Amino acid sequence: MTAVEQFLEPDDPGRSRLAVSWTPGTDAAAPVWVFLHGLGSDRKGEKALRFRDHLAGRGPGFLSLDFTGHGDSGGDCHGLSLTRNLADVGRAVSFLREEAPAAPLILVGSSMGGIAALWYASLFPGAVRRVFAIAPAFLMAARFAASLSAAARREWADRGFLSVPIGDRDLEIGWGMVTDEDGYPMERLAADLATPSLLIHGDEDAVVPPELSRDFAGSCAAAELVEIEGGDHRLSGVKDLLFEIMWTAGAAS
């Protein structure tokens, strides 16, 4: 079926409208995959489109969204935070509960979207059946802040935002992303997450160290890890392999 493009209007006047692409499944009882993109990407990125195409005719539905400040959604990245991303996921889930009320939900997150998927499943047990986290961006804000000099960190905090090169453009990232992340310790996520979760990480990822996924999978009873030999952070060259790993792991059930 053709994807339906639409905007989810906010109930809260302080939030922006959210762009989603929704492709209903061919089996009402099959799961809906919800794709959450990474920093600087959007709902029409390579992985999202490839996974959607692979699912065509197999039963499951597929929804992808643009996080606030990305793609066709409103807002900017000055207010980017894990808390805001989780609210965006919640809005998408509410939409799907109207469109496909009986369908189990599977969250598929890449990098920034991967950590959002894991936290959403932890904070809302029972809301999703399974999580697939591709190179989840553990400690994203803390690692980036640590990569800067002390002077640059002070300037970021004082100014309130920092221009960061992401792909072929610059994003103005707010300091609030750093302070917000303090409320989401990895230890609590590992202890509280009960939703079956598969982490997929390239062993040559130079952006998010694979050791973070190894440590998390080793400390969380609900999480497993598959490492892609020679894989970088984006894993763009192995999109078909990523899909087969997820499908074989039980995403169809």
Residue 11 is predicted with a pLDDT of 84
CA distances from 117 to 107, 129, 162 (A): 6, 12, 25
CATH architecture of residue range(s) 4-141+185-251: 3-Layer(aba) Sandwich (3.40)
CA distances from 145 to 129, 142, 156, 178, 207 (A): 34, 5, 9, 8, 13
Does residue 1 have a pLDDT over 70?
Answer: no
CB 17 within 8 A of CB 74: yes
- 126: Cβ contacts below 8 Å, ≥ 6 apart: none
- 17: Cβ contacts below 8 Å, ≥ 6 apart: 7, 8, 9, 10, 73, 74
The model's pTM: 0.96
Question: Looking up tokens 């989603």, which residue turns up?
Answer: 20
CA atoms within 13 A on the CB side of 243: 18
Residues 153-157, mean pLDDT to the nearest whole number: 95
Residue extents of the structural domains in the chain: 4-141+185-251
% of the chain beyond a pLDDT of 70 = 98
Listed range (103-117, 124-138, 155-169, 218-232) with the worst mean pLDDT: 155-169
Residue 53 is predicted with a pLDDT of 96
Helix (H) and strand (E) counts in the chain: 9, 10
Does residue 252 have a pLDDT over 60?
Answer: no
Residue 28 is predicted with a pLDDT of 87
- 7: Cβ contacts below 8 Å, ≥ 6 apart: 17, 18, 19, 20, 72
Provide the CA 171 distance to its chain's centre, in angstroms: 18
Residues 232-252, mean pLDDT to the nearest whole number: 91
Amino acid at 21: S
Residue 77 is predicted with a pLDDT of 94
Residue 12 is predicted with a pLDDT of 84
What are the structure tokens assigned to 176, written together? 């609030």
Q: Is the dihedral of CA 51, 249, 86, 4 positive or negative?
A: positive
Residue 194 is predicted with a pLDDT of 98
The tens digit of pLDDT for each residue in 113-130 reads 999 999 999 999 999 999
% of the chain beyond a pLDDT of 90 = 91
